[in-house]
Amino acid sequence: MIEPPAIRPPRLPAAQTTGRQVVVFADAADAADEPVDWSAAGISDVADSRDFTSGRVPAQAMRDAGATVFARLGIAVVSAGPDQVAALRGARRPVLSVSPELVHHVLPEDPSAYVRGYRDGVTDLAARLVGAPVPGEEVPPPPAFEDTAAATWGIQAVQATTSPFTGRGVRVAVLDTGLDLQHPDLAGRTVTAESFVTGVDSAQDGHGHGTHCTGTACGPRVPPAGPRYGVASEAEIWIGKVLSDAGSGDDGGILAGIDWAVANGCAVISMSLGADVAEAHPPYSAAGRRALEQGSLIVAAAGNNADRENGGYGFVGAPANSVEVLAVGALDPRLTTAWFSARSLAAPGGEVDVAAPGVDVLSTWPMPDRYNTISGTSMATPHVAGLAALWAEATGRRGYELWATLTQASRRLTEPSVDVGSGLVLAPQEGAGSVRRA
């Protein structure tokens, strides 16, 4: 099959920033020989994640500090002017990059606010090259998965229903809008929750997005009501509220959540959030690599900025477009690419790596609603996070090895790899060659 071209992104409005800077050092602070001389840059009141026993820097401490150091990632967020940044670059400890701190959001299904109307001018040609139907052609649709009384279509598609693995003993961090901490479906589960949002002490979810993602990744094998919707039913749940109840948050809070998850041995970090920035954001390139080196895999949503019904393919945004962050595209019940799911960028790290169910996904929602059905690459991502937990339990693999296992365990699809990467990630089954049993 001839692949359609990877996308070169359209011009977009400038990214939303906070005015602070994110500094990436040449090595992680825990392994550094040379400390940072903050005073030389005129920066005082430094908060360091190593100074907190839980590995969590409180959100207010981050706001009050002139610099916040995420030691395990070798990254700092600083309130600094150009002269101070220049002084940091000239300090003893090498600096790889200094970037504006971005604001991220839960990813909307409707791409109209991003690139609706964007055309690449080759829709029909690309469709013919890959053997796909062109607009106006009548083609019999493939059979579709459906929700049943036993399990949602997504849980069936990834073969979680036939897997003997549950994610037992594996820590999964969901960095999002938090969790309904009193949700009855998660009663009795091991849940550790922290807030990284300034002025918000609790990780309670007042939005819904985080609760939905957590349910998909780690919901029960047999829910009290309705079909099974969760993948890793016995994984340990770690909730980092890094987005406000309005659905937004900055690099500082997100990096704090990653640093906390790595410090606490979370094998999987699920992030259904992003900024519509075509270039890889250096802090996440470093965070992804250093997390992998310490045994933590970051899984992130590719983005919902495509409008395929009108010829727009979008592009993978930050943080998913960093080389060492696993980018997840969305599939519909026919295992075709969702109309909103972003296509790979023509740039290193801008690729969609794998795909998972992301259309009409049923999962938990804050009470009293209890459940909700929504769509997005945000919904595909926790499917993969849960599957990563199953594979981590089944094989004992972590970090880079776990990444390789997920891509190797993916089912190739008829969709172009620029849309679905290695394909649909599947759950480990009893008797598979790479699976171990105690």
For 16, counting Cβ atoms within 10 Å of its Cβ (0-12 exposed, 13-18 middle, 19+ buried), the class is: middle
For 338, counting Cβ atoms within 10 Å of its Cβ (0-12 exposed, 13-18 middle, 19+ buried), the class is: buried
Tokens of 130: 């890959």
> Measured over all CA atoms, what is the biggest interatomic distance in the chain, rounded to whole angstroms?
68
DSSP structure string for 120-154 = -S-HHHHHHHTTPPPTT---PPPP-----SSB-HH
Q: Tell me how far apart the alpha carbons of residues 398 and 396 are, in angstroms, rounded to a whole number.
A: 7
Q: What is the dihedral of CA 408, 346, 288, 34, to 10 degrees?
A: 140
C-beta of residue 212 within 8 angstroms of C-beta of residue 247: no
Question: Catalytic residues, which ones?
Answer: 176, 209, 378
Nearest-CA neighbor of 35 among 57, 50, 21?
Answer: 50
Residue 151 has phi, psi (to 5 degrees) of -160, 150
DSSP state of 201: -
Beta-carbon count within 10 A of 371 CB = 17
For 177, counting Cβ atoms within 10 Å of its Cβ (0-12 exposed, 13-18 middle, 19+ buried), the class is: buried
C-beta of residue 197 within 8 angstroms of C-beta of residue 243: yes
Indicate the residue type of 302: A
Distance of CA 283 to the CA centre of its chain: 15
Q: How far is CA 233 from CA 115, 161, 167, 386, in A?
A: 37, 11, 7, 9
Q: Beta 67-70 vs 75-78: how paired, if at all?
A: antiparallel
Beta bridge partners of 270: 174, 299
| CB-side neighbour CA atoms (13 Å) of 16 | 10
Q: Tell me how far apart the alpha carbons of residues 49 and 47 are, in angstroms, rounded to a whole number.
A: 7
Q: Tell me how far apart the alpha carbons of residues 12 and 28 are, in angstroms, rounded to a whole number.
A: 33
Tokens of 120: 């690449």
Q: Tell me how far apart the alpha carbons of residues 120 and 126 are, in angstroms, rounded to a whole number.
A: 10
